[in-house]
Structure 1
């Protein structure tokens, strides 16, 4: 194997991995948008974290009841940089959760763009672009 083939294989593996990660994100967001159940949740608290550059991030921790009466307390997987105005601990907010995995949810009031069609289509376009790039690199390398 030549150095060009080795380099091409490495770049193709990197772009292919990114493509797979983006596809998983698209599937997760589409599943949540299509099968998600809306309910009301109580905002328990905001967990603070720090980015590497020193900016604060906030993860919302909520609790909500499932149809069978059991309670779920979970933290958002995506953070916000600024606490939304007018929202505080103890407030009620809307939550959209996956009935197959209730700990997978989003808060439309905090992350309003997470399930927008344009965002999902952008992720799809990026995924297809990476797949095409991976294919071209492999075709050119071998």
Structure 2
């Protein structure tokens, strides 16, 4: 027995009997990756994907699929997946140009340009309301 492999109380460390499956190879991840790839292919071919009358579970799954595609860099270069309402409860996904408007890369830089604000407002009428 090596001193390097022994635990503090002298026992040998337990070795797992079966190695764990990597997260990306688990059934849920594989299924989500396949759905994300299908969505990206459809967006590139059709230009938009419409989901008519989805229930809450379908909306949640579509959100997960889009998030998976975004997290794993599956969106087409220079484009992002946008969602817009379609026909009441429906959804429409389409590729939009440029980065996400709320992305960190779109935030103003520290020390960036200042917005000019006048020191005094002229020609401005204020309505006073008394309660």
Provide TM-score, normalisation by structure 1.
0.26
Q: Larger relative CO (CA 8 A, sep 6+): 1 or 2?
A: 1
Could you say which structure has the larger radius of gyration? Answer: 2
More helix by share: 1
Q: Please identify which structure carries the higher strand content.
A: 1
